[in-house]
Amino acid sequence: MQFGIFSVSDITADPTTGHTPSEAEKIRASVTIAKHAEDVGLDVYAIGEHHNPPFWSSSPTTTLAYIAAQTERLILSTATTLITTNDPVKIAEDYAMLQHLSGGRVDLIMGRGNTGPVYPWFGKDIRQGLPLAIENYALLHKLWREDVVDWEGKFRTPLQGFTSTPRPLDGVAPFVWHGSIRTPEIAEQAAYYGDGFFANNIFWPKEHYQRLIDLYRQRFAHYGHGTPEQAIVGLGGQVFMSANSQDAVRKFRPYFDNAPVYGHGPSLEDFSEMTPLTVGSPQQVIDRYAAMRETFGDYQRQLFLIDHAGLPLKTVLEQLDILGGEVVPVLRKELAQGRGAAVPDAPTHAARVREVYGDGPAREARPRANRGDNLSGPSPYQDAPAPAGSAFGVAAAR
C-alpha cells in the first residue's frame, strides 16, 4: 500500500502571525515538502492544478519535473489534472515527457475541477463538463496506446495520422486515477477503463464516498477487469497531530477557523465528527485511518492533506516527521494484516511493465519521423472493443 501527501496549493495568511507567503515562498516550500516526504519514508507526493488565486499550481508538470530531479524514489502525481479544460494532446505529451524524466515515477488523478470560471478561460462550457471529461479522456487513452491516431469528436479539431511524442516510457502509459467528490459518472468512467478511482474523502462523511467506491467496484467487475475486491482505490484524508490531542486541537483551531474552504462554518469538533479530518495524537490518527478498511475494503493508496490553511512550512515539516516516523509505519503493518491474497498492490510503473512483458524486454518506442501512415503491426495496448451502448465506448470509438 502507498502512503503520501497531496496539496491543494493554496496561498493563505497564517492567522496566528498575519503573514501571507508570496507565490515564490509557496512554490519553493512545495519542493522542500516533497523532498522531506521522501526522506521520512512516504511513497507519493501529489499536487493539484488551479488557474486562479489564491492557488499557485497552474503547471503541475513543471513542478513535478523539478521535484523528480531532486528525488529518487518518490512517486509524483497530480491531485487533479483538469481533463475538461486541458487539451488531451497536451496532457499526453506533457505527462509522457514527465514519465521519461522521472524514470516512470508518475501517475495522474483526472478531475473536472471545482472552479466554474476556469471553463470559459480555456474556451469551454461548464455545462458540458461531463461530456468533456468523457470525450477528452477517451482521446487521451487512445493517444497513449496507439502510435498513430485518427480522431474525430465534438470538442476539438479532428486528428489524422497523429502521433503524440514522446511515446510512453517502455510503451506503458502512466497510470490514471479518476478523482471525484460527488459524481457517479466519474466512478463509472474509472471502472470502464479499468483505471483507479480516487475519493477525495475530505469534505463529506465517509458514507458518501463509500457509495461512490462501491459503485466503482461493482462496475469494475461488470466490465471484466476482475473482482470488486481487485479494483484500485485511493483515499484522501486530513490530519493534524501533536503528542497529545489537546495540544493538537489548540494549535490547529485558528487555522481551521480561518481556512478559506471551511472557515467560519461548522466547528472544528463538528467537522471532525462529520468528515475524516482527525486532529489529535498520532495514535488517534492511526486508529481512525486503520478503520477506513472497515468502510471501504482493502485499498491501495492513502494520501493526507497537511500543508494548507496558512500552516507555516516549519509546522508542515513537523507534521511530516510525525506522519513518517510514528503513523505510517504502524498503518502499513495494520492494513497489511488480513489483506486478501487477491487484492492487488498499488500500481507502479515497474509492476505494470512486468504485467505487459513478463520477463521479456520492454518495447522502446521509435515512431517514424513521417507520421502520415501507421506503424506496422497492431499496438499491444490497442483498446479492447467497447461494450455496446456505453457512453465511454462511443467516445472511445470516435
Digit-coded pLDDT (tens) for 179-188: 987 788 999 9
For the cut 60, the answer to whether the pLDDT of residue 81 exceeds it is yes
SS3 track for 137-180? HHHHHHHHHCCCEEECCCCCCCEEEECCCCCCHHHCCCEEEEEE
With cut-offs at 50, 70 and 90, classify the pLDDT of residue 372.
very low
Between the CA of residue 222 and those of 100, 191, 192, 295, 325, what are the distances in Å?
Answer: 34, 8, 9, 21, 40
With cut-offs at 50, 70 and 90, classify the pLDDT of residue 368.
low
Give residue 218's pLDDT: 97
Render pLDDT for 247-306 as a digit per residue (tens, 0 to 9).
Answer: 999 999 999 999 887 878 899 999 999 999 999 999 999 999 999 999 999 999 999 999
Cβ atoms of 226 and 203 closer than 8 Å: no
What's the CA gap between 247 and 269, in Å, rounded?
A: 14
352-379 as b/e, with b when 16 or more CB fall inside 10 Å? bbeeeeeeeeebebeeeeebeebeeeeb
Give residue 393's pLDDT: 58
Question: What value does the mean pLDDT take over residues 388-396?
Answer: 53
For the cut 50, the answer to whether the pLDDT of residue 386 exceeds it is no
Architecture of the 2-397 domain = Alpha-Beta Barrel (3.20)
Give residue 385's pLDDT: 43
What's the CA gap between 132 and 203, in Å, rounded?
A: 25
The domain limits of the chain are: 2-397
